[in-house]
Structure 1
Amino acid sequence: MQRKFNRAGKSKVFGDSGYDENLASVYEKLTNMMGKVAEADETATFLERLSSGRTAFELGIGNGRVAVPLSECGVRVEGIDNSDCMLELLAKRTDLIKAWKGDIADFSLEERYDLVYCVHGTFTLLCGRAEQIACLRSAAKALDDEGALVIELRVPDLDGFVSCQKITTTLVDRENTILNAEVHDPLNQNLRSTLLWFSGTSVRRFPQHIRYVYHQELDTMAEYVGLKLVERWGDWGGGAFTDVSKRHISVYRRTTS
C-alpha cells in the first residue's frame, strides 16, 4: 500500500486496526474500563519532564487521552492519527491541540519538537518491519537536536497459544465480559486478534492486527535510524523494567544532528 502525507493531512490508513466509527463511539468507555484513562495524568507527568514543558508531537493522537492532560501541563501538543472518527472526538474535546490526518509510518513535519511520543502499543499497528523502521526514521527527523522519542510497548505475551491460537478473558464484572481471541503468525511476528465485548444483550467486535516487537529489536531499529536508548522503564511511574514486566517505556535521543 502506498502512503501519501503532507502538512494538509492527505494520507491513506495503515493496517486494519479497527479504529473506525464503531470503536470511536465507545473508545473512552472501553479505555476507562481497561485502566488507561486513570493513568493518563501519570503518563502526562512523565512526558512533560522529557518535553521540558515546551513542545510535543503525538503519533496516533486518538481522542487526546494523553495529549489533553499533557497540554494542561503547559506543553504545546500537536499530533497525527489515521482515523477521522478519533480526530473528530479530539476536536470536540478541545480546540487547544492541533491535529491532522496522517500516517505514522510516513510523515514529514516543518517543525522540530522537543518530544515525539507513541503510546499504548500504537507503534505495533504498523504490521511490517519496514513500516516500523520508517516510523522511527520520520520521528527522528521530527526531533530537535536535544529532543526525545518515547515509545510505550507491551512485552509480547506468547504463553498459552495452542496451534497458534489463544482466547483470554480481559475483563469480567457485573455488566461486562471482554474476551480476546488471537491467532499467532510467529514467522512474521504478527498477531491477529478480535476483542469481543459482551454488555447486557449486546456484543461488539473489534479486530486488530499488530506486529509485536521485543525491546532488543526496537533498540536495533532505533540505532539504524540514528537513535540511541537513554532510558527504559517498566511503567509511567518510573518503575524498573525487569524480566517480569508486562510493558516498557523506552526513551531515545538522536545520535547525530
Structure 2
Amino acid sequence: MRNYDETTYGDQIADVYDEWPGDAGPPPDGREAALFVAALAAARPVLELGVGTGRVAFPLADLGVEVHGVESSEPMLDKLREKAAAHPNGNLVVPVLGNFAKLDLGEQRYSVVFAAFNTLFCLLGQDEQIDCMRQARELLEPGGTFVVQCLNPAGQRLATGNTFGTVELEDTAVHLEASKHDPLAQTLSAHHIVLSEGGGIRLFPYRLRYAYPAELDLMANVAGLELVERHADFERRRFDASSRYHVSVYRAAASA
C-alpha cells in the first residue's frame, strides 16, 4: 500500500472526479467561484492552487481570464490537458506540475492567487499552511489578493472520533465515508468508499488539517497578509457561526 503524500488524493481520484454525483462530488459552485475571482482579477492572470481537472479554471477561461493552475498529481493534470484540448478557451488554462506548498514560478506575478474547496487544508501542518500563504503573498502583484475557500468547523459541527455513513446513492453504486476526527490536532483522516454493482470496491483517501477563521487570520498575519472581506460563499452571502464554509480575501499587509 502506498504511503499518503501530496499526490495521493489526486492520483487516486482523477479518473472519476468529474463523474461523482451530488454530495459525493465537488461543490457545484465552479461558475460562482470563477465570477468571484474574475471580479478581483481585473483581466490579469490568476494562479489557482490545486487546479485539479479545471472545475474553476475553465469557467474563468470562459470569462477571458488566464489561469495558471498548480497541481501535484500528474493524472489530474492529464485530465486537465485533455479537457483543455477540447475547450474553446483551453489555451487560457496553463497547467503547472508541482507542490503548491513549495511554489517556484520565477518572476511571474498574479492579480489573484486562490485555493478553493479546502485546498489550503490539504497541507497537513500549520507551518506548511503559513509558508504557502507567505509564498502566495510574494506572488501577488501590487494590490493583488489571496482568496481561500475553507470549511468552517463551527458550522460543520464535526463529530469527534470515528464516524461512518452514506454520502450518496446511485442506481449502480453506493458512496460511503469512514472518517476519524482529532479535534486537538484539528485533523480529519478519511476514506471515501465506492461500492459498485458487480462487486467493485474502490477507496479514495484524503486528509485535512483545518483551522478556525480566527486562527487562519492570525496565520495570514504571520505570512504578511491581512483580511479584506469574508463571506459564507462565492455569492457573497453573510458569514456567521452557522455557515458551513467561508470565502476569505486577503491582501498584503501595509507593513509586509
Give the structure-1-normalised TM-score: 0.88
User: Structure 1: which amino acid aligns with 2:37?
Assistant: L
Which position in structure 1 is the counterpart of 2:80? 90
Cα deviation code 1:229-257 (max 9, x no counterpart): 11111011111111111000000011146
In 1: Cα distance, 2:98 partner to 2:25 partner? 27
**Contact residue 121 and residue 152 of structure 1 kept, 8 A:** yes
C-alpha separation in 1, matches of 2:172 and 2:61: 34
Q: Is the 8 A contact 2:177 2:193 kept in 1?
A: yes
Does 2:184 correspond to 1:176? no
1:158-197 residue pairs with structure 2 within 5 A? Answer: 158-161=157-160, 164-197=161-194
Cα distance in structure 1, aligned partners of 2:111 and 2:26: 24
Residue 29 (structure 2) aligns with:
39
Once structures 1 and 2 are overlaid, which stretch shifts more, 29-38 or 63-72?
29-38
C-alpha distance 32-77 of structure 1, shift in aligned 2 (>3 A): farther
Taking a change above 3 Å as real, the CA distance of residues 233 and 31 of structure 1, as seen in their structure-2 partners, is: farther
Deviation at 1:38, TM superposition (A): 3.3
Confirm or deny: 8 A CA contact 2:23 2:167 kept in the other structure.
Answer: no
2:205 is aligned to 207
The corresponding residue for 1:108 is: 104
Seen in structure 2, the aligned counterparts of structure 1 residues 108 and 249 have a Cα distance that, compared at 3 Å, is: same
What is the correspondence of 1:10-159 to structure 2 with a 5 Å cutoff? 14-15=5-6, 17-20=8-11, 22-30=12-20, 34=24, 36=26, 38-94=28-84, 95-96=90-91, 97-109=93-105, 110-156=107-153, 157-159=156-158
User: C-alpha displacement at 1:17, in angstroms?
Assistant: 4.4
Q: 1:116 to 1:32 in 2, by over 3 A?
A: farther
What residue number does 2:87 align with?
none
Which range is displaced more, 228-237 or 194-203? Answer: 194-203
The two structures have a TM-score, normalised by structure 2, of 0.88
In the alignment, structure 1 residue 250 sits paired with structure 2 residue 241: no
d(CA) in 2 for partners of 1:38, 1:225 = 31
CA deviation after TM superposition for structure 1 residue 186, in Å? 2.9
Q: Higher mean Cα deviation, 151-160 or 141-150?
A: 151-160
Q: Tell me, what secondary structure is at the counterpart of 2:9?
A: coil
* Aligned residues between the structures: 242
SS at match of 1:19: helix
The alpha-carbon deviation at position 183 of structure 1 amounts to: 1.1
> Residues of 1 paired with 2:158 and 2:65: CA distance?
40
Letter aligned with residue 64 of structure 2: G
Amino acid at match of 1:185: D
Distance 2:9 2:41 in 1: 31
Q: CA deviation at 1:16?
A: 6.4
